[in-house]
Every structure is written in C-alpha cells, then in structure tokens.
Chains A and B, each alone.
Chain A
Amino acid sequence: MDTNNLSRRRFLGLIGAAGGSTAVYQVSRAMGIMQDSGPVAMLDLQRAAGSGKKVAVLGAGIAGLTVAYELERAGYDVTVIEASKRLGGRCLTLRHGDLVDELGNGRICNFDDDPEMFFNAGPARIPGHHMRVLHYCRTLQVPLQVKANFNRMAYVHEQEYNGGKPVRIGRYLADSRGFLSELLYKAVDKNAFDQPLSEEDKERMLEFATSFGDLNPNGIYKGTRRAGYKSGGFRTPAEYHSAMDFSELLNSKYWRRVYWTSQNPDWSEPLMEATGGMDNIIKGFVRNIRSPILSNAQVQSVHKRQDGVDVVYNHKGERRQLRADWCFNSIPSHFMVGIPNNFSTDYATGLAAMRHSNFFKIGLQMKERFWEREGIYGGGTDTDQMINEIWYPSHGIHGKKGVVLGAYTFDPNQSGFFERMTPEQRIQYAAKCGDNIHEGYSGYVEAGVTIPWGRMNHMMGCGSHLPGDAHDRYFKLLQKPDGHHYMIGDQISYHSSWQEGAFASAENALLDFDARVRDDAAVSNLG
C-alpha cells in the first residue's frame, strides 16, 4: 500500500473497519480533524448507502435543522417533526404581528410593522469563537453585523449606590482600576510581599500600577481622564471627573455582579448578531432544506427497535407513525419524561436528572432613541433592580425608533417574579425601573413583548444542565446514542443556552453516526 496516497478519510475508514466506530472517533480527535473550537471543518459525511434510509429529526431548532441539513445532503430521507406551529425553537425573533406563545398569556407582538423593529427573544449574541454558528452563517449566507455588548458610555445603576443616580460604566471602571493600582503601588513600594521583589521587578511593577490605573508620579490616584469628561474638551477646556469615593465604590455591587462582563469569552466584544434578526439563521436553513419539516406535529412516543426508531406523532388531527432507521431528538429533556419511550434505564435516568433554567426577557419599542442623545450607542446598562439590564440596539442608529431590551433575568426567583404577572404588568414594571436610569423612560415605551421561557409553549424552560455528580455520571452517556436514537440540542453540550451548544450537539451526534455508518460499510465490504 502506498501510504503517501492514503487520505485521512481513507485511513479513518480502515481504522473503522479494524477498530469500530469509537476508534474512528478517537483517532479523528487525535489527528485534530475534529476541533472543539477554532475553525470548523465541513462535515464530510458518508453518502447514504442505497436509498430510502429514513431519518426522523425531532424538533426544528438549531440542532434539528443542522442534522436535517447535513443528512439530506448525504442522501438520507429526512423528516423533521416540530411540535410548535413555529420553526426555530428558542431562536426566536419577534416582529409586528407575531404570536408570543406563552401558556395562558398569548399575546400578539405590537411593534410597528417595520423590519428594524424586532427583538431577539432567545439567542442574541454571537462571539467570535463560536465557530460553528459562524460556519453555518457563512454557508447559509446569513449576513452578520457587529453588536456592541459592552459600552463604557452606558450606566452602572444601583438603588443604594451614588444616591441611586446612574454612573457611566467607563467612570466606574477607571476609578476602580485607579484605586486598585494605588494599593498595588503602595504594597510594592513598601516591599509588602512574602518574597522580596528584585529591584528590577519592583521598578516594573510600579510602572505597571501607574499605567494600569493612571496614577500620579507619587503613585496616588487622583482621578483620570479615562473616567470621561465632566464638561468641555472641545471648544472649551476639558474638565474631567474627579475620583469617586473609594469606599462608596466598594459598597456598590457592580464589581461583584458583572464587572467582568467583557472578560467572559462568550460576551467579549466584538460580538455579532444576524442582521435583521437572529432567526435569519433559521430562515437560512429552511431555504436550504428540501425535506419535509412538519410543524404542529407533536411527538407521542419514541420507541427504539433493533435497527431503527419508531416515532408516533399527531399531525393534522391524526396519529401517525414514522418508522425511521435513525432518530435525532432535540425535545427538551424535561418533556421526554412525559412522552412514552423505551430508552435504557441509565439514559432515561440521565434525561430526567436534567434541570432546566427559565430565563426571562422583555423587549420594548421606544418611540424615540433617547439613549443616543445620552451618547449611548449599543451595549447595555446594568442595574440591581429586578430587570437586571437594559440593552440598546446596535442597528438602526439615528433612526426614529428602536427596540431596547427592557429586562433580562437568569435567576429563577427573579424570572418567577415576572412570570407571576400578566404581560402588561411586566412591561409596566420594567418601564418604571427604567425611569430610575433614564429620565422619562416609561414615557417612551409604546409597545412591548415579554418572554418567560419557563412558560413558553413547547419549551417550558431554556438551557438545561445536569446538577452535581449527575453530570459526571450521565453527560457522556447522553452524548452517545441509545440504539439508533441520538439526543441533541444545546442540552447535550458543554454550552447549554447557546446556539453554539446546539450546533456542537448536532456535530457530536453526526460524527458518531457517520463513524457507525462507515463502520457498517467497511464490515459489509469485508464480508
């Protein structure tokens, strides 16, 4: 054999024949073909042997549509079964006339009929290292734009800090770095370390502290122009903010809460968003998938066979059965407990041990872009009120109106607080909170949507995780198939609540699937 001509793929095929699917999987990883972050290789799936191999995809969110897209291209007979009347799962963008399908609180989105007036009720941010999202946006030709996530001109607001008056984030950061640097400077200056510093290191540390916090030549923080202009600076001389009171700064809770926002890789600028709404990713898939995608089709049971999976679902008033060869299932784990199935004991136990979160968002259409008059273009204000955050749109700058994010809660108690209100009460409450940050805020609110994911039809929650030692015990198991059945969705990833997690789960399942298909092909060739 001429190994020089041995392609990686052929090599993997041979490994598969010799060592089975897991060997391919492991060797692929070792060869660096499957990367977990960094550029994503196109999935190079083996073509379906013969024709008519049926694949059932349960759920038309990111993970399900990815599997449908890839397997359709590989020659499989794919059917996507979606319980909701809407495709996209939690990748939901709300516009004029859309149904906000909350259980018991259905509302129609009352934004203006204007493509600029939209709200990403689910995923809204794409960081540069979410290479799978970016790969599919490129492939599906979904235009992206930069989205400001962090903005020094936006505010820190706390009810008990600075008399409840908002402070520009930039000023807060500059002062906190200044005070921290001064402490460091003093410590270095007094050799207050266990290990004495070399004279050279000491010199550098002092320089570092001076530069990091903008200290004066004596190592004292007396305020910095980095904190922003108090007045002037153009036609008249600049007056800069003086340093705030250090102990007051320490009393605030901002540093504890989200001081590190822009240092979290998933939130590091520049972030991106799909131009015109995140659901353009879903539309990109739908444009490029020819296989049937059934909406209003609710799964009634999932039963593994020796060589496939039977899926029973209701559609158009009838009970139907799909006798599939393979099944890729993105139904939220907390629903699988209420759907008859014959999963193995460990698999079902793992699924039932998952716990879902219940994030909550409010989108408010503002009749004027008043925040731009305060010098705020994109990014977000952080507050210790129940709403947590206000985000300003990065698109439509200087337009007449805009949709801001009026609340975003992660904590179950905070989300529950809003869930117990009617949508109208939630909007009213959030508008009042805004008044404490922007003068006249509530007066600008002219339309709004509220999205409690824990109460949304066919969702009843968002990202799931396995708590405590259940993760160690079940996660890897759930990443693997149970017979010809694969669980997918962001729930089966190390990045739940992110689209990248959903894509990764699809990739994970497809790579395992492909290895098995190649394995079978190799075995039948040998036979």
Chain B
Amino acid sequence: MNMTTLARAILLTLGLLAQPVLADDKDLPVPADEFVYCTVCHGVQLMGNPIIEAPRLSEMEDWYVERQMMAFKKGWRGTHERDANGIEMQPMAAALDDRQIKEVATFVSATRSQIPPQTLVGDAANGALLYQSCAACHGATAEGNQSLGAPALRRLNDWYLARQLRNYRDGLRGKNSADTYGVQMAATAALLRDDRAIRDVVKYITNLPTEESHR
C-alpha cells in the first residue's frame, strides 16, 4: 500500500474526514487560558488528535483525570524512556499545582465530542472471553466503577487503549509500587498474551453498546 492510500485509509477509519459539528455547542466549556494548553494537542473539546498521538479525553471522569495527572506529576507515569508519549505529557502535569489539577479535571469532565471511530481490526468474540477478567473492575459494559478506581473505557480511542495495555504489559506504566491501581492494572494486562489479544479485547470494548455521548 502506498503512502497516499495508506493515509487515506487511516483517515477514513479514524473518521477524520468531514467531521460533522455537534448539533448545539453553546454549552461546551471554554477552557480557562491556563488550560488551553490541553487543547493544543488533544484538540478542540479534547476530541483527540491521532496525528499528534494525543488521545480523546472528552467527558473523562474527573476523579480519574485527577489521579492520572497526579501519577504524571509524581513521575509514576511518563518517565520510562520508551514511553515517548508519556514523556511528552509528564511535564504538563508537573507544571500544575494540586488545585490546578482539580480544576483541569473538572474542565476535562465537562468537555464533549463525538465518540471516536474504530481503527483497529480484532476478533471481538475472542475479546469477549478476555474481557471477563477486566469486567470485575471496569464493569460488564466497561462503564467504569469509581469505588474500585476503574475508569470507563468505552469512549476512548481504540489505538490509545491498545497502546496503554502494551505500556502496562511492557513495564512502561504501573511499575511504581506506590501506584496501587497502576500495579494492579499491569498485573492484569500481563494476562494478555500478545498484541493480537490486546487488539481483540480492545475491539470488544469499543464494540460495546454506548448511549450517545450526552448530546
């Protein structure tokens, strides 16, 4: 496949072409100046930008955002030399104080954008079997469970989910013993035998029914 066809195929699957507008965007949050930084990479309303490899964050749970920002800030995440994307993110969190991290979490959870299109090929049926070990924490429909500290997974970019599963498996994330949830997740990700298993489980997750994002 030549570059052009490849680029086109990627775009079509990523749904980057002719993005429809959200029906009514009057209520969308306008980021405070200090949080415009987030949108530079993660896109308008944190819709994600696969070219910059910045995932969609729209409507992510504020408690989960806060925890991950703290993980970046403490260097639990985004410090492994092979975690290029994490390294890019890490200083962003490190530059914020605890109050700003709470505020950015509130902003992130208020953003809205379309559910991202699927880009990976995988066997959802096999993924369903693999997902059983995930369901205990993340819920049968991957809706998340705050009391267990497990975020929703359904509206994340599939390429981002797959990358994070690989990061957990390969020791790029969840290696610091103080990062309780991360360590737990790394142990679970180790159950996924290979990249194919990762693609299958991600396929299953992104296929799960989801009520249309709040609008």
**Chain A residues near B (Cβ < 8 Å):** 83, 103-106, 296, 298-301, 303, 312, 314, 317-319, 334-335, 337-345, 348-349, 352-353, 416, 420, 422, 455, 457-458, 460, 467-470, 473-474
Of the listed residues B17, B26, B31, the one surrounded by the most CB atoms of chain A closer than 10 A to its CB is B17
Residues from chain B with a CB closer than 8 A to the CB of A468 are 2-4
Structural contact, A337 and B16, CB atoms closer than 8 A: yes
**B162 at the A/B interface (Cβ < 8 Å)?**
no
20 A–B contact pairs at CB < 8 A?
A: A103-B37, A300-B25, A301-B21, A334-B49, A338-B41, A338-B43, A338-B47, A338-B48, A338-B51, A340-B21, A341-B19, A342-B19, A343-B17, A343-B18, A348-B16, A349-B11, A352-B11, A352-B51, A353-B11, A458-B40
Structural contact, B44 and A338, CB atoms closer than 8 A: yes
Residues from chain B with a CB closer than 8 A to the CB of A345 are 17-18
Task: Specify which of A103, A337, A353 is in contact with B40 (CB 8 Å cutoff).
Answer: A103
A219 to B: closest C-beta gap in Å: 51
**B90 at the A/B interface (Cβ < 8 Å)?**
yes
Residues from chain B with a CB closer than 8 A to the CB of A299 are 44
Q: A319-B25, A319-B28, A319-B30 are in contact. Are A353 and B17 (CB under 8 A)?
A: no
Q: Tell me the complex Cα distance, A319–B88, Å.
A: 29
**B7 at the A/B interface (Cβ < 8 Å)?**
yes
Task: Specify which of A334, A339, A422, A467 is in contact with B44 (CB 8 Å cutoff).
Answer: A339
Structural contact, A318 and B49, CB atoms closer than 8 A: no
**B74 at the A/B interface (Cβ < 8 Å)?**
no
**Chain B residues near A (Cβ < 8 Å):** 2-4, 7-8, 10-11, 16-22, 25-26, 28, 30-33, 36-37, 39-45, 47-52, 54, 84, 87-95
Q: Of all chain B residues, which has the CB nearest A343? A: B18
Given A469-B4, A470-B4, 7 more contacts at CB 8 Å?
Answer: A83-B36, A105-B91, A301-B21, A319-B26, A338-B39, A338-B41, A345-B17
Structural contact, B3 and A470, CB atoms closer than 8 A: yes
Structural contact, A353 and B4, CB atoms closer than 8 A: yes
Structural contact, A337 and B50, CB atoms closer than 8 A: yes
Q: Tell me the complex Cα distance, A338–B54, Å.
A: 10
Q: Of all chain A residues, which has the CB nearest B30? A: A314
Structural contact, A349 and B8, CB atoms closer than 8 A: yes
Structural contact, B17 and A348, CB atoms closer than 8 A: yes
A82 to B: closest C-beta gap in Å: 12
Q: Tell me the complex Cα distance, A318–B84, Å.
A: 34
B152 to A: closest C-beta gap in Å: 22
A300 to B: closest C-beta gap in Å: 5
Of the listed residues B2, B40, B50, the one surrounded by the most CB atoms of chain A closer than 10 A to its CB is B40
Of the listed residues A344, A352, A416, the one surrounded by the most CB atoms of chain B closer than 10 A to its CB is A352
Q: Tell me the complex Cα distance, A468–B3, Å.
A: 6
Structural contact, A348 and B44, CB atoms closer than 8 A: no
Q: Tell me the complex Cα distance, A303–B48, Å.
A: 19
Of the listed residues B17, B19, B51, the one surrounded by the most CB atoms of chain A closer than 10 A to its CB is B51
Which 7 A-B residue pairings sit nearest by Cβ, starting from the closest?
Answer: A338-B43, A104-B91, A338-B49, A353-B7, A468-B3, A104-B92, A334-B51
Q: Of all chain B residues, which has the CB nearest A467? A: B3
Q: Tell me the complex Cα distance, A298–B43, Å.
A: 11
B10 to A: closest C-beta gap in Å: 8
Residues from chain B with a CB closer than 8 A to the CB of A303 are 21
Q: Of all chain B residues, which has the CB nearest A340? A: B19
A355 to B: closest C-beta gap in Å: 9
Residues from chain B with a CB closer than 8 A to the CB of A105 are 91, 95
Task: Specify which of A314, A339, A455 is in contact with B31 (CB 8 Å cutoff).
Answer: A314
Q: Tell me the complex Cα distance, A11–B132, Å.
A: 75
Residues from chain B with a CB closer than 8 A to the CB of A103 are 37, 40-41, 88, 91-92
B44 to A: closest C-beta gap in Å: 5
Structural contact, A338 and B42, CB atoms closer than 8 A: yes
Residues from chain A with a CB closer than 8 A to the CB of B26 are 319
Residues from chain A with a CB closer than 8 A to the CB of B31 are 314
Residues from chain B with a CB closer than 8 A to the CB of A106 are 95
A160 to B: closest C-beta gap in Å: 26
Q: Tell me the complex Cα distance, A404–B25, Å.
A: 49
Structural contact, A339 and B4, CB atoms closer than 8 A: no
Of the listed residues A344, A349, A416, A473, the one surrounded by the most CB atoms of chain B closer than 10 A to its CB is A349
Structural contact, A334 and B95, CB atoms closer than 8 A: no
Structural contact, A337 and B51, CB atoms closer than 8 A: yes
Q: A301-B21, A457-B37 are in contact. Are A469 and B3 (CB under 8 A)?
A: yes
Residues from chain B with a CB closer than 8 A to the CB of A460 are 40-41, 52
Q: Tell me the complex Cα distance, A470–B91, Å.
A: 34
Q: Tell me the complex Cα distance, A353–B2, Å.
A: 12
Task: Specify which of B20, B52, B88 is in contact with A334 (CB 8 Å cutoff).
Answer: B52
Residues from chain A with a CB closer than 8 A to the CB of B44 are 299-301, 338-340
Q: Tell me the complex Cα distance, A106–B84, Å.
A: 20
Q: Tell me the complex Cα distance, A420–B78, Å.
A: 11
B117 to A: closest C-beta gap in Å: 13
Q: Of all chain A residues, which has the CB nearest B43? A: A338
Structural contact, B33 and A296, CB atoms closer than 8 A: yes
Of the listed residues B10, B21, B84, the one surrounded by the most CB atoms of chain A closer than 10 A to its CB is B21
B45 to A: closest C-beta gap in Å: 8
Q: Tell me the complex Cα distance, A300–B91, Å.
A: 25
Residues from chain A with a CB closer than 8 A to the CB of B89 are 104
